[in-house]
């Protein structure tokens, strides 16, 4: 699991039990990855309009993915 994702999970006390089943590191990582991907998608949405209102969006999206260790 990416260290930053682990820190965030620890910070919010993420040891949630659902139906008496502890959430695994893999599930936490997948949950976080989905959030990161949505953030990247929002970032790119403006760029993809073609209006170039956000010319740095691709770079910012890559920085977000890199920071959280999310690959394509």
Token look-up 């994702």 returns: 5
Domain range holding 24? Answer: 3-68
DSSP code for 4: H
pTM of the model: 0.62
Q: What is the CA radius of gyration of the chain?
A: 15
Kindly report, residue by residue over 10-60, the tens digit of the pLDDT: 777 766 555 556 777 787 788 888 888 888 888 888 777 766 667 788 888
DSSP collapsed to 3 states, 12-67: CCCCCEECCEECCHHHHHHHHHHHHHHHHHHHHHHHCCCCCCCCCHHHHHHHHHHH
- Number of domains, the chain: 1
């Amino acid at each position: 699991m990416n260290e930053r994702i682990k820190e965030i999970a620890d910070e919010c006390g993420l040891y949630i039990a659902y139906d008496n089943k502890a959430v695994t590191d893999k599930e936490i990582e997948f949950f976080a990855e989905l959030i990161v991907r949505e953030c990247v998608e929002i970032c790119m949405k403006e760029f993809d309009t073609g209006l170039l209102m956000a010319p740095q969006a691709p770079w910012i999206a890559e920085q977000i993915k890199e920071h959280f260790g999310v690959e394509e």
